[in-house]
Chain A
Amino acid sequence: MRSRPTTLLATAGLIGAVALAACTPGSNADNKPAASATGQVTTDASKLGTVTLTVWDQEVRGGQAAQIQELNKEFQAKYPNITLKRVTRSFDDLKTTLKLALSGNQPPDVFQANNGRPDMGSFVQAGQLVPLDRYAEAYKWTDRYPETVRNYSSYSTDGKTFGTGTLYGLPQVGEVVGIYVNTAKLKAAGVNEPPKTWADFEASLATLKAKGELPLVLGNLDKWPAIHVFGTVQAQNVQPDAIRTLGFGQKGGSWKTPENAKAAQTLVDWVNKGYLSKDVNGQGYDPAWQAFSKGTGVYLIAGTWLQADLGKAMGDKVTFMLPPSASGTPAATGGTGIPWAVSSKSKHPDAAAAYINFITSPNAMAVLAKNDNLPIADTAEQEATGPLGKAVFEAFGTAVQKNALVPYLDYATPTMADTLGASLQDLLAKKATPEQFLDTVEKDYSGFVSSNG
Chain B
Amino acid sequence: MAQRTSAGPPGEPRRVAYLYLLPAFLVYAAFLLYPLVRSIQISLYDWNGNTLATWAGLDNYAEVVTDPALRSSFGHALVLVFFYAVLPLVIGLGLASILNRARVRGLAFFRTVIFLPQVVAMVVIGVAWRRMYAPDGSVNDLLRAVGLDSLARGWLGDYTAALPAVGFIGTWFEIGLVTVLLLAGMGQISGELYEAARLDGAGPVREFFAVTLPSVRGEMAVALTLTVIAALRTFDLVYITTRGGPGLSTSVPSFEVYNRAFQQGRVGSAAAVAVVLTLIIFLISVGITRVADRDSR
The interface of chain A, by Cβ under 8 A from chain B, is: 5, 9, 13-14, 16-18, 20-21, 24-27, 29, 95-96, 99, 102-103, 117-118, 122-123, 125-126, 128, 220-223, 277, 279-284, 287, 414-415, 417-418, 421-423, 425-426, 429, 431
Q: Are B37 and A122 in contact (CB under 8 A)?
A: no
Contact of A282 with B135 at beta-carbon distance under 8 Å, contacts A17-B34, A126-B51 already known: yes
A24 to chain B: which residues have CB within 8 Å?
Answer: 45, 52-53, 55
A183 → B minimal CB distance (Å) = 25
- Is the beta-carbon distance between A284 and B130 smaller than 8 angstroms? yes
Binds A, one of B2-10, B152-160, B186-194, B289-297: B152-160
Contact indicator B51/A26 (Cβ below 8 Å): yes
What distance in Å separates the Cβ of B18 from its nearest Cβ neighbour in chain A?
7
Q: How many Å from the CB of B77 to the closest CB on chain A?
A: 18
Chain A residues near B159 (CB-CB < 8 A): 429, 431
Instruction: From A27, A220, A280, A417, give the contact of B263 (CB < 8 A).
Output: A417
Give the residue name and chain of the A residue nearest to B17 (CB).
A5
- Picked from B37, B155, B268, the residue with its CB within 8 Å of the CB of A282 is B155
0 or 1 for each of B238-257: is its CB under 8 Å from A? (1 = yes): 00001111111000000000
Residues of B within 8 A of A95 (CB): 262
Q: Are B37 and A414 closer than 8 Å at their CB atoms?
A: no
Q: Which residues of chain B come closer than 8 Å to A284, judged between CB atoms? A: 130, 134
For window 145-176 of B, CB contacts with A under 8 Å fall at 153-159
B278 within 8 A of A: no
Q: Is B266 part of the contact surface with A, judged by Cβ < 8 Å?
A: yes
A221–B42 Cα gap in the complex (Å)?
Answer: 33
Q: How far is the CA of A100 from the CA of B99 in the complex (A)?
A: 53
Q: Which residues from 207 to 266 on chain B have a C-beta closer than 8 Å to any C-beta of chain A?
A: 242-248, 259, 262-266
**B265 & A25 in contact (Cβ 8 Å cutoff):** no
| Chain A at the B interface: SS class | helix
Residues of B within 8 A of A426 (CB): 246-247
Contact between A17 and B51 (Cβ–Cβ < 8 Å)? no
How many residues belonging to B are interface residues under a CB distance threshold of 8 Å?
Answer: 49
B246 touches A425 (CB 8 A): yes
Evaluate contact between A26 and B53: CB separation under 8 angstroms. yes
Is B282 an interface position by the 8 A CB rule? no
Most-contacted residue by chain A among B28, B37, B156, B158 (CB, 10 A): B37
Distance in angstroms from B170 CB to nearest chain A CB is 19
Cα–Cα distance between A421 and B55 once the two chains are bound (Å): 31
Once the chains bind, are A103 and B50 in contact (CB under 8 Å)?
yes
List, in ascending order, chain B residues with CB within 8 A of A425's CB. 157, 245-247
- Report which of A126, A221, A277 forms a contact with B242, defined as CB distance below 8 A: A221
Inter-subunit contact B246/A429 (CB<8 Å): yes
Known: A16-B29, A283-B134, A422-B245. Is A29-B50 also a contact (CB below 8 A)?
Answer: yes
Closest to B259 in A: A418
Distance to closest chain A CB from B150 (angstroms): 13
- Residues of A near B53 (CB, < 8 A) are 24-27
Instruction: Tell me whether B33 is interfacial, beta carbon within 8 Å.
Output: yes
In the docked arrangement, what's the CA distance between A14 and B41, Å? Answer: 12
- Check B154–A283 contact: CB distance below 8 A: yes
Q: Determine if B267 is an interface residue (Cβ-Cβ < 8 Å).
A: yes
9 contacts across the A-B interface (CB closer than 8 A) = A9-B21, A16-B29, A26-B51, A125-B48, A221-B157, A223-B244, A282-B246, A284-B134, A429-B159
Chain A, Cβ-Cβ closest to B267 = A25
B152 CB to nearest A CB, Å:
9
* Docked-complex contact B154 and A281, CB < 8 angstroms: yes
Query: Nearest-CB distance from B286 to chain A (Å)?
Result: 12
Q: A13-B25, A95-B262, A103-B50 are in contact. Are A282 and B134 (CB under 8 A)?
A: yes
A191 to B153, CA, bound (A): 32
Q: Which of B52, B133, B135, B242 contacts A27 (CB 8 A)?
A: B52
Q: State whether the Cβ of B94 lies closer than 8 Å to any Cβ in chain A.
A: no
Complex partner residue of A283 from B18, B157, B268, CB under 8 angstroms: B157
For the complex, what is the distance from the CA of A126 to the CA of B211, rounded to whole Å?
66
A125 contacts which chain B residues (CB < 8 A)? 48, 50-51
- From 32 to 87 in chain B, residues with beta carbon under 8 angstroms from any chain A beta carbon are 33-34, 36-38, 41-42, 45, 47-53, 55
Contact A25 B42 (CB under 8 A): yes
B52 touches A418 (CB 8 A): no
Q: Min CB distance, A268 to chain B, in Å?
A: 15
Which residues on A sit within 8 Å (CB–CB) of B262? Answer: 95-96
Residues of A within 8 A of B51 (CB): 26, 29, 122, 125-126
Q: Please, how many angstroms separate the alpha-carbon atoms of A223 and B247 in the complex?
A: 8
Q: Known pairs A117-B265, A429-B246. 7 more at Cβ < 8 A? A: A13-B28, A13-B33, A14-B37, A21-B34, A277-B135, A280-B154, A423-B247
User: A128 to chain B: which residues have CB within 8 Å?
Assistant: 50
For residue A14, which residues in chain B have a CB less than 8 angstroms away from its CB? 33, 37
Tell me if A279 and B29 are in contact (CB < 8 A). no
Q: Which of A5, A17, A426 has the most CB of B within 10 A?
A: A17
> Which residues from chain B contact A17 at a C-beta distance below 8 Å?
29, 33-34, 36-38
B174 to chain A, nearest CB (A): 24
- Chain B residues contacting A421 (CB-CB under 8 Å) are 243, 245
